[in-house]
Structure 1
Amino acid sequence: MTIRFVESSKLPTPWGMFVMHGFSDDSLDKEHVVLTMGEVSDGEPVLARVHSECLTGDALFSMRCDCGPQLQAAMHKISIVGRGAIFYLRQEGRGIGLLNKIKAYHLQDCGADTVEANEQLGFGADMRDYSILKPMLDHLNIHALKLMTNNPRKVTALEDMGIKIAERIPHQTGRNPHNAKYLETKKGKLGHLFEDDSESK
């Protein structure tokens, strides 16, 4: 694995001015970005979201998942406190890629849940690799996170890499009639922690 820093630039957004840091994963020919706001290298735990790319949810406003609302909510929460980081990882479809994700969506249209669809295609339920985060965190001199997530496996994966999780902050938003089954599968099969049944991930 070779993750190298490329460049940083300003990124004005509806939630304020972020700095966008570009990283290249030369071994997999993928590009990742980190958005930061405020001073994140002062040693204090950083409010953060580790967000896997979801073209359908983030850019095309799909209601099949809660990814787009989660990304926007994370940017909003960071803007309120004026300090934080969003790690945007190019791991579409829990790591199976965009076209395989469309195949999985077709299987879901036929009645499979998200886990069953992945497995019918020959993939694991979640193929994401969070080890790519370590070089990015090291470059930004971030050593501890206040992580916005409902996924305990994500917390464990980061802690296993030696990243301190000072706090897990529930991050529930985006429930709608189209993603109710998706969210129940997250809870029942992937162990996501939902504070109640009104909102999710």
Structure 2
Amino acid sequence: MHDIPAATVRTRVHVPLRFADGYTVNAELVTFHGLADGREHLAVVLGDPTPTRPGPGKGSQPPLVRLHSECLTGDVFGSARCDCGPQLREAVERIADSGGVLLYLRQEGRDIGLYNKLDAYALQDQGLDTYQANLALGLPEDARDYTAAAQMLGAIGISELDLLTNNPDKAQQLGDLGISIARTVPTGVHSTATNLRYLHAKVQHTHHTIALAPMPGLVG
């Protein structure tokens, strides 16, 4: 870890998970002491996160890790304005299949908070994209800091990983914090008629690697 204090594991507890589509999986939920931002972030350990060896001479397969920022509207209520709920569901199954960890980070609305996120939604209804709306509220486009995520990984013994993400900033920040990214693995594309403009904004503003069909005349 690079110039950040170590965190320690507080509690480990086994919890069976069941999703709305019927998918079930057993998870170990891990809480922490000493996280830099003082928040109640959670590690969801799925499958066996221990590096595995696929065969002689092929080296080890690092655990698959996703940093998932909390989204009450998408994760809990199934909002179709974003792709957060489908990404969470996809990530849990993919990580369970290969072995790894989902870090559930309490960073609602790219860390502007729930009420501000809903205020930003109101501005999006007036024509702004998700990033423009944040700026119009006097807030950062993306306020997320992944120092706590790096601490969590260190506390559970993960220093090298495959990162499940479309967001290059996550890989950049983790690398700067001393976490080795073996490879970046993209999530699926969960586009709908109601979130397509949002997804295009992520591609255009923050260079998310999402394969989307072009939308003529769409700005942001």
Q: By the TM > 0.5 criterion, same fold?
A: yes
Q: What is the CA-CA distance between 1:134 and the residue it aligns to?
A: 2.0
Match of 2:206 among 181, 190, 193: 190
- For structure 2, the 5+ residue unaligned runs are 18-22, 52-59, 215-220
SS at match of 2:93: helix
Aligned counterpart, 2:146: 130
Aligned counterpart, 2:20: none
Aligned counterpart, 2:69: 52
Match of 2:15 among 7, 11, 15: 11
Note closer, same or farther for the CA distance 1:29–1:141 as it changes in structure 2 (3 Å cut): closer
Amino acid at match of 2:46: M
What does residue range 53-92 of structure 1 map to in structure 2 within 5 Å?
53-81=70-98, 83-92=99-108
SS at match of 1:5: strand
Q: Which moved more, 1:3-12 or 1:97-106?
A: 3-12
Higher helix content, 1 or 2: 1
SS at match of 2:41: strand
Match of 1:98 among 101, 109, 114: 114
2 CA distance for matches of 1:27 and 1:142?
A: 18
Match of 1:177 among 193, 197, 213: 193
Contact 2:189 2:210 in 1 (8 A): no
Higher strand content, 1 or 2: 1
Residue 155 in 1 paired to residue 159 in 2? Answer: no
Q: CA RMSD in A?
A: 2.0
Aligned counterpart, 2:126: 110
Larger radius of gyration: 2
Match of 1:40 among 36, 49, 53: 49
Q: What is the CA-CA distance between 1:40 and the residue it aligns to?
A: 2.5
- Give me the TM-score of the superposition, normalised by structure 2: 0.83
1 CA distance for matches of 2:119 and 2:9?
A: 33
Residue 146 in 1 paired to residue 148 in 2? Answer: no
Amino acid at match of 2:42: V
1:14-64 deviation per Cα after TM superposition (whole angstroms, max 9, x unaligned):
331110001356775521100012332558511111000000000010000
- Give me the TM-score of the superposition, normalised by structure 1: 0.90
2 CA distance for matches of 1:146 and 1:191?
A: 19
Q: What is the CA-CA distance between 1:154 and the residue it aligns to?
A: 1.1
Count of matched residue pairs: 197
1:64-88 deviation per Cα after TM superposition (whole angstroms, max 9, x unaligned):
000000000001112222x110000
1 CA distance for matches of 2:70 and 2:8?
A: 19
- For structure 1, the 5+ residue unaligned runs are none
1:171-192 deviation per Cα after TM superposition (whole angstroms, max 9, x unaligned):
0232100001000000011111
